[in-house]
């Protein structure tokens, strides 16, 4: 769906993704953008930064269905970016993660259908594929909810899809600002020197969501083709002379990330620069996704078996551009 002349609401809109998405959306002649989040201080600070008259600020929590019903009035597109996403915090506060990431997703779905929102696209994570931590498990449940929601929209025009990608370079809470902070000590703590991660810039993530909005017909999980990096290379890029301290894997942490499992690959279609995991529901027609190709039977998309890798020099360039 084209964003021009549309009213767009973004949950978790005061975060790193939300701010950059709004910058791009404002360039497309949108009618209105509603920033929906629960932190009044962040909204106040954001209002000083963004003075465009098309922006509205709406305090609310995705756990509050009634508030979502009010916020979604007259909205054409919802971008769902709100989540509890810190792996350690979710491990130690599990039901808080369930209430925001799962119950919140269901509230978004119910409010969108009843308010006749045209398109909803939800942000997911590589941790939702073959999850081993609670954050990943809640996001997998959320993904399933959004895909299945297309089954009971009835005669409404509401459609739901999901975007799944890896770690965002320099986003709040990511390893880059942490390594930068620790670089001055001359020592960088690394959980395991074998660790690899998918890597995407904030600009790339935002553009992929915008592209997916225009491609979606409802039920797809869109996965971009993005490079991997070794955690040791990232350490060298940030502090080449620092001592590496191996501290052991933290609770809920993987050695390598997955974005498409072998089982998902059986109903995944490949395009030049992205994949589409298609839903296994009777209402889905392969005719909805043309010009793609099926994947090999044993295919899986993991950060350690990727075809594209970022070098130390490329990582340095990315970090400098932040």
Which residues form the catalytic set?
Answer: 127
Q: What is the number of other CB atoms lying within 10 angstroms of the CB of residue 20?
A: 18
- Beta strands (DSSP E) in 183-311 are 187-190, 196-200, 221-224, 228-230, 243-246, 258-260, 268-270, 274-277, 293-294, 301-302
The neighbour count for residue 191, using CB atoms within 10 Å, is 15
Query: How many Cβ atoms from other residues are within 10 Å of residue 21's Cβ?
Result: 24
The DSSP 8-state label assigned to residue 311 in this structure reads -
DSSP bridge pairs for 197: 229
Nearest to 275 by CA among 215, 195, 235, 229: 215
Q: Which of 101, 224, 250 is nearest to 168 (CA)?
A: 224
The backbone torsions φ and ψ at residue 309, rounded to the nearest 5 degrees and listed phi first, read: -130, 145
* Residues counted in the chain: 322
Under a CB-based contact definition with an 8 Å cutoff, are residues 9 and 72 in contact?
yes
């Amino acid at each position: 769906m084209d964003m021009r002349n549309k009213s767009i609401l973004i949950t978790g809109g005061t975060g790193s993704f939300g701010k950059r998405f709004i910058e791009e959306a404002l360039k497309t002649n949108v009618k209105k953008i509603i920033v929906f989040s629960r932190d009044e201080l962040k909204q106040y600070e954001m209002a000083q930064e963004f003075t465009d008259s098309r922006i509205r600020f709406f305090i609310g929590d995705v756990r509050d269905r009634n508030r979502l019903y009010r916020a979604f009035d007259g909205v054409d597109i919802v971008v769902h970016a709100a989540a509890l996403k810190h792996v350690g915090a979710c491990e130690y506060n599990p039901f808080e993660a369930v209430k925001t990431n799962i119950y919140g997703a269901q509230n978004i779905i119910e409010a969108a259908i009843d308010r006749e929102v045209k398109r909803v696209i939800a942000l997911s994570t590589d941790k939702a594929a073959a999850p081993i931590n609670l954050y990943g498990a809640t996001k997998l449940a959320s993904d399933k909810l959004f895909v299945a929601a297309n089954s009971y929209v009835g005669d409404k025009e509401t459609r739901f899809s999901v975007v799944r990608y890896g770690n965002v370079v320099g986003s709040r809470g990511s390893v880059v600002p942490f390594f930068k902070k620790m670089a001055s000590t001359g020592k960088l703590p690394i959980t395991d020197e074998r660790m690899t991660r998918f890597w995407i810039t904030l600009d790339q993530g935002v553009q992929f969501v915008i592209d997916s909005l225009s491609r979606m017909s409802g039920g797809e999980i869109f996965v971009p083709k993005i490079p991997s990096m070794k955690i040791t290379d990232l350490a060298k890029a940030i502090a080449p002379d620092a001592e590496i301290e191996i501290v052991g894997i933290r609770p809920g942490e993987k050695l390598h990330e997955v974005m498409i499992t072998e089982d998902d690959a059986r109903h995944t279609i490949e395009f030049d620069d992205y994949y589409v995991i298609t839903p296994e529901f009777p209402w889905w027609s392969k005719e909805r996704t043309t010009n793609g190709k099926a994947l090999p039977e044993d295919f899986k998309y993991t950060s350690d078996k990727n075809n594209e890798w970022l070098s130390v020099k490329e990582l340095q360039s990315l970090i400098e551009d932040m």
